[in-house]
Structure 1
Amino acid sequence: MALSFQNVYIHRKVAEASSKPCMICFRPSTSVLITSCQKDFFYICPSHLNDRGFATAVIDEAAEAEKRKNEEMAKELEKLKQEFEEKQKRKEEKKKDKDKDKDKKGKEKDKVKEEEEAEKVKIEAEKAKAEKAVEAPSFSEYNLHRNFFNGRQQKYREKQIAKRNMERLKDPMSFPAVPRGDPV
């Protein structure tokens, strides 16, 4: 029999309510490994995915580039936060100086408030962009160890054979006919 499916499994998460026992340790798990053709899947603990004797991660260049991009955005966000904090400190110092000049204080307060609001809006926009980038789903691909993959293929074949046998049992033509003649 030819290969049923390839040894490329994609790691996905399911809801807590849909958790099932891990294939190895039988603890409830929300992580699933599924083949790209969706013929085979099983629940697995995330800790087992780090075990080199079980599976090895397939490094995806696009995913790595996306991860680096997210890290760069996080660094940029930190820079913007620091710059904003420095500006706030400067503004507070200016406010102290402006308290001395009460006549000019009213007009400058309005300008300072407008600037602060503009800065806050910019920071909120940056945070929203960073959160959207982090929430993007990135599924990792794994290759199972030879022994585990052979076991999965054997289980798949057994399921196919059982399915074929059930279909044969449902078909009345697969049974022998009752003898019609007189017994001799």
Structure 2
Amino acid sequence: MSTFPNVYTHRKVADTASKSCAICYKLSTSVLITEGKQDFFYVCPSHLKDKGFCTPIVDQAAIDAQKKKDLDDEIARVKKEYEEKQRKKKEKEEGDKSNEKADDKKEASTTDKKDQAKKPDSTSATKEGESTKAEEEPRIFQLHRTFYQNRVTMKRQAEADKRNRERFSNPAFFPSVPKGLP
């Protein structure tokens, strides 16, 4: 019998498959499971945030890659906006100098309307970015020593009980009645 590693992955199950939390016995759809599926238990999401229960294992390389990707996207967006503004400014300068002020006002109002139309799009994009960041919670956890030792002890006890049940169901396990004279 080998013990399992103290690395648990957080998974969600359907509402119909929810079971009681191993800590507080409330119904939960969150499951912590080891890599080889040797051990699993249901736990409330609030317990995962508890520093006394487990600590998240953070993949720093993945976080750095995500930050770099977000920064590159932001740079590309800003460059695009700057080029657009420069293009509009150039078009405005190239326009006839003899245009009336009314035409200028019309252009200014249409540009303002376009800018106002663009603003809700940019705010919705930031809201979507915030929601994805909120959904990205740590998925890999390490239990604290006492909780992990409790899981290992429970697993060993379950295996010992299983072995005993198998032995007791075998009739050869018990001694036979003596047949000779004493």
**TM-score normalized by structure 2?**
0.60
Secondary structure at 2:167's aligned position in 1?
helix
**Residue of structure 2 equivalent to 1:9:** 8
Q: Give 1:70 shift.
A: 7.3
**Residue of structure 1 equivalent to 2:22:** 23
**Structure 1 residues 69 and 178 mapped into 2: Cα distance closer, same or farther (>3 Å)?**
farther
**Residue of structure 2 equivalent to 1:169:** 168
What is the letter of the counterpart of residue 157 of structure 1?
R
What is the letter of the counterpart of residue 32 of structure 1?
V
Q: Give 1:171 shift.
A: 1.9
Structure 1 unaligned residues grouped into runs of 5+: 91-122
**Structure 1 residues 169 and 73 mapped into 2: Cα distance closer, same or farther (>3 Å)?**
farther
Q: Give 1:156 shift.
A: 0.5
Secondary structure at 1:7's aligned position in 2?
coil
Secondary structure at 1:34's aligned position in 2?
strand
What is the letter of the counterpart of residue 144 of structure 1?
L
Query: After TM superposition, what 4+ stretches of structure 1 lie above 6 angstroms from structure 2?
Result: none
Q: Give 1:73 shift.
A: 8.8
Structure 2 unaligned residues grouped into runs of 5+: 89-120
**What pairs up with 1:29-178 in 2 under 5 angstroms?**
29-65=28-64, 67-68=66-67, 71=70, 140-178=139-177
Secondary structure at 2:176's aligned position in 1?
coil
CA distance in structure 2 between the aligned counterparts of 1:175 and 1:144, rounded to whole angstroms: 42
RMSD between aligned residues: 3.5
- Stretch deviating more after TM superposition (32-41 or 57-66): 57-66
Q: Give 1:75 shift.
A: 5.8
CA distance in structure 1 between the aligned counterparts of 2:69 and 2:14, rounded to whole angstroms: 25
Secondary structure at 1:173's aligned position in 2?
helix
Q: Deviations over 1:24-67 (max 9, x none)?
A: 11111111001112111110111111111100000113542464
Aligned 8 A contact 1:21 1:28 in 2: yes
What is the letter of the counterpart of residue 176 of structure 2?
A
